[in-house]
Copies of this chain bind each other. A is one copy, B any other.
Amino acid sequence: MNQDARTLTLAEIAERLGARLEGDGGRRVSGLATLREAEPDQVAFLANRAYLKDLPGTRAAAVLLAPGHAGTCPVARLEMDNPYLGYAELSRLFDPLAGRTPAGIHPTAVVADDVRLGAEVAIGPQAVIESGVELGDEVVIGPGCVVGADSRIGPGSRLHANVTVCHGVVIGARAILHSGCVIGGDGFGFAHDGARWHKIAQLGGVVLGDDVEVGSCSSIDRGALGDTLIGDDVKIDSQVQIAHNVQIGDHSALAGCVGIAGSTRVGRHCMLGGGVGLSGHLTIADGVQVTGMSLVTNSILEPGIYSSGTGAMDNAQWRRNAVRFKQLDDIARRLARLEKAGRSG
């Protein structure tokens, strides 16, 4: 990727990041890279001790780092207490996408007559904006997106290409929705008459707070009666499934392939690892972390780290142990008998 769309001086960067600069403030840089790969016109960063070994040999113009790591830095320094946060901000300064989309409606977009548009809205080619939709200031709608009837999208939000927002969805400010994600598809609701299924129309909607990000090809289903609720600053990775009437508290993060069944409530500041599954109708407390591919079938009422499953091993070894898993209750009973025999013997 060409990151060279813009250049900044080290002094400008220091000011934007609130970092203390040791070095030539007038030097211009045009990008960001790792310590090992940075060219002399790029800034590098050190946010993890594991990479301290790469510091002495870096060719970067400057390194963003914590004051405690300044010792072996051979080049200019941008010092701040949380250099990873500095890296995040710097990455956005060099983002070639930022500001790339000019406002305006592409002539091939289909925009209903009664759509309300804020200032500086951009609507890409082949997009469809249905009746009753409201788009806030500086919203960017990518090519091929569909925004369903009566939905509202808050200011500064960006839908990448081929996103689907169904009818009656509410999205807050500064959302980022990646390609292929679907917000507001029907929840999975059916009544059984003893022989066949009868569809339950999903009459609720989806409400996303501010600063929500949703990864590519993820699904957030609409509620059956009330709404599916995603809090502020919730970050959702790719290939995630969020069922109807789920609630996710503010600042929680869900890694790829997570699946959450209906009506489960996840607290604030939770982190779900990749592939985690939560059963329906659970309550997960604030501050809970669940490690990758764990299955949670009961509510978790205390913050902490939770896990299930078994680690990978050689298949032959695994086969021997997995067979024994089926005997585990029997093993436990036999052990208890032996213990009892030993005590009485």
Contact = CB atoms under 8 A, between A and B. Distances in A.
Interface stretch (A7-15, A21-29, A300-308): A300-308
A12 B338 CA distance: 70
A325 B317 CA distance: 11
Contacts of A296: 312
A215 B202 CA distance: 13
Among A37, A100, A226, A325, the most chain B Cβ lie within 10 Å of the Cβ of A325
Contact of A324 (B82, B257, B304, B328): B328
A282 to B, nearest CB: 11
A239 interface: yes
A176 to B, nearest CB: 7
A214 to B, nearest CB: 10
Interface string A295-330: 111101000111111111111111111111111110
A283 interface: no
A166 B341 CA distance: 68
A24 B196 CA distance: 32
A247 interface: no
A311 B298 contact: yes
Interface in A89-129: 89, 91-92, 94-98, 100, 106, 108, 110, 124-126, 128
Interface in A239-264: 239-241, 243, 251, 253, 255-257, 259, 261
Contacts of A239: 219, 239-241, 259
A52 interface: no
A140 interface: no
Contacts of A291: 315
Given A91-B201, A110-B126, A259-B257, A326 B317 contact: yes
A3 B224 CA distance: 12
Contact of A312 (B82, B290, B317): B290
B310 A325 contact: yes
A157 interface: no
Contacts of A317: 326, 329
B322 A295 contact: no
A217 interface: yes
A178 interface: yes
B203 A32 contact: yes
B201 A94 contact: yes
Contacts of A192: 85
B215 A238 contact: no
B219 A238 contact: yes
A293 interface: yes
A256 B241 contact: yes
Given A110-B126, A217-B217, 12 more contacts: A2-B150, A3-B203, A37-B225, A89-B198, A161-B166, A176-B186, A239-B239, A255-B261, A308-B309, A320-B329, A325-B328, A338-B342
